[in-house]
Amino acid sequence: MSVTPPPVHVPRPYALPRTALAARVECPMPDGATIVAWTYAPEGTLDAPGTPFGLDLTVPPVLMLHGNGEEHGIFGPVIDAVCESGRAVIAVDSRAQGASTRGAATPLTYELMAADAIEACARLGVPQVHVLGFSDGGILGLLLARDWGAHVLSLTALGANLTPEGLPREDTDWMAYAAAENRRWAAEGEEGVTLEDGTPVPSPAEAAQTAELLQLMVDNPHIDAASLAGVSCPVTVMVGEFDEILPEETDRIVAAIPGARKVVEPGVDHNLPKMAPAAVARELLACVARNDARHPARQIHMPEGLASCRIPLSGLWTEKLDELYRHVDADPGTSGWVQDVWPPVGMAGRLLAEGIFWGVFDASDVRDGSPREGAALLGAVAVDHDADMGDGSAPGHGTGLGGPSWEPLGEKDVASWHLLAADPAARGRHVSDALLATGVLAARELGARRVRINTSVANVPANALYASRGFTRHRPVWLPYPGLPLPGWSNLWELRL
């Protein structure tokens, strides 16, 4: 062997999950990378309609993100503890690590990896998660809580840092040296080399990947502590007593996030998931409990003080519908609707002309099945038999009459809801419940046996509403809406009438 090998890292052994794997899901990315997500579910949960991939949205899962150069299995006992508590886990192998591939993106950044985690959740149809991140994964957790805040219910960050200066200088100097040595081996090294004790030396290709991951920690992250002031979910920042993260760096993170808790686990170093999994599980479940936003089943009913009826074809109702959707488009929530993009210009008027639009009003504004002319339109939904959802041109695509895992039904047996929206100005009046009751009434008038609807996985309130009102969730389909700031995956929901 003519070339000196680079430093060889032998990872500390760790216990893999005992919980049975519910699903392994590949998430293709635009640059050619494949991000692999693994789901684990409480005992007895099936990968079936209602719980696709073993995920029940009435109990939001925990998203787990591992450290640099690792894979999701390092959380083994923690995964088991979460599933034993009755909650599912999504564990993602970060880009260029574990089973996930590198792709062509340049450069490799934490922001890119955070976007990968969001896309993995979208592929699984999950709008809300509790986050557990270790080391690099803790950095990703901070970015998600800051930039994807409506979707993050809690964050437990283990051994995270805001900048490279949050580590001792000797650590970053060693990482820079090891990165350089791995780059040298990538250029000059040989395949199949072992050390004198038999330890295998990484191949040149593996060394190139190791060098890039080490350099990532030398140069990044660069998170402004002040930018974390808007994080509103419960946060626990946990470190080991002998953690490599400088104590003042941990204190900066805790001070930057309103209400954040600091936990120092005695007797352990940076490798918390491997050395103290029981303590990690304890703190994670305690943090989850601070915002345990479950969605228990409730019946669909018309709330007191509200009423619904068909929207008349004549009068100013087209203008009122357009005004309703302008209010929704302008709302800073998670619907993702954009003025003149969704709903498209003229769509509401066309559906109204077909006589299929129903509205929700103050009960005092409805007489003899019609709204008075000056009534305020609090919400609206169009209902017909047009249940097409996707055109079958991409994997996972289906239609409302024959989507993945759906019972084949005739066109007249299925009702579909379109442009369901409540005016944000009426928030707190349970207009969404009134719209569900209205949609059910309209579907029954059509003689339908099922209601089927799709909604973006990014729309937190809509998905929570359907999850808590007896709808069955089927596997998401690829159904992008050009021009909307939404992921391409849509959840498919079905209600038996």
User: Which among 64, 59, 65 is positioned nearest to 85, based on CA atoms?
Assistant: 59
Distance CA 339, CA 470 (A): 31
Domain ranges of the chain: 21-167+210-289, 306-496
Residue-wise pLDDT for 298-352, tens only, equals 999 999 999 999 999 988 999 999 999 999 999 999 999 999 999 999 999 999 9
Residue-wise pLDDT for 359-374, tens only, equals 999 999 999 999 998 9
Report yes or no: 126 and 60 within 8 Å, Cβ to Cβ: yes
Q: Is the pLDDT of residue 399 over 90?
A: no
pLDDT of residue 9: 85
pLDDT of residue 440: 98
What's the chain's length in residues? 497
Q: What is the mean pLDDT of residues 280-293?
A: 98
Which residues fall within 8 angstroms of residue 218, CB to CB, at 6 or more apart?
164, 172, 175, 176, 179
Number of CB atoms found within 10 A of residue 191's CB:
10
- Using 50, 70 and 90 to split pLDDT, how confident is the model at 394? low
Q: Which amino acid, residue 264?
A: V
Strand bridging mode 129-134 / 89-92: unpaired
Q: Is the pLDDT of residue 252 over 60?
A: yes
Q: Is the pLDDT of residue 224 over 70?
A: yes
Among the ranges given (135-144, 164-173, 384-393, 420-429), the one the predictor scored with the smallest mean pLDDT: 384-393
Instruction: For CA atoms 66, 148, 494, 298, give the dihedral sign.
Output: positive
- Using 50, 70 and 90 to split pLDDT, how confident is the model at 49? very high
Q: How far apart are the first and last CA of the chain?
A: 73
- Using 50, 70 and 90 to split pLDDT, how confident is the model at 52? very high
Which region, left, alpha or beta, applies to residue 360 given φ > 0 means left and ψ of -120 to 50 means alpha? beta
Which residues fall within 8 angstroms of residue 92, CB to CB, at 6 or more apart?
35, 36, 37, 38, 63, 64, 65, 72, 100, 116, 117, 120
Place of tokens 């990872």: 11
258 bridge partner residues: none
pLDDT of residue 198: 85
Could you tell me the CATH superfamily of domain 21-167+210-289?
Alpha/Beta hydrolase fold, catalytic domain (3.40.50.1820)
Q: Is the pLDDT of residue 396 over 60?
A: no
- Using 50, 70 and 90 to split pLDDT, how confident is the model at 187? very high
User: Phi then psi for 413, rounded to 5 degrees?
Assistant: -85, -10
pLDDT of residue 393: 56
Q: What is the mean pLDDT of residues 253-277?
A: 98
Which residues fall within 8 angstroms of residue 164, CB to CB, at 6 or more apart?
172, 217, 218, 219, 220, 221
Q: Which amino acid, residue 448?
A: A
Distance CA 355, CA 384 (A): 10
pLDDT of residue 11: 83
Q: What is the mean pLDDT of residues 472-488?
A: 92
pTM (predicted TM-score): 0.96
pLDDT of residue 105: 85
User: Which among 209, 205, 218 is positioned nearest to 177, based on CA atoms?
Assistant: 218
pLDDT of residue 387: 82
Output DSSP code: residue 411.
G
- Using 50, 70 and 90 to split pLDDT, how confident is the model at 398? low
235 bridge partner residues: 155
Distance CA 150, CA 421 (A): 19
Q: Is the pLDDT of residue 419 over 90?
A: yes
Output DSSP code: residue 11.
P
Assign domain 306-496 one CATH number from 3.20.20.140, 3.40.630.30, 3.20.20.70, 3.30.1300.10. Answer: 3.40.630.30
Share of the chain above pLDDT 90, in %: 89
Distance CA 340, CA 325 (A): 10
Report yes or no: 38 and 65 within 8 Å, Cβ to Cβ: no
CA angle, 238 then 293 then 225, to 5°: 40
Instruction: For CA atoms 281, 285, 288, 293, give the dihedral sign.
Output: positive
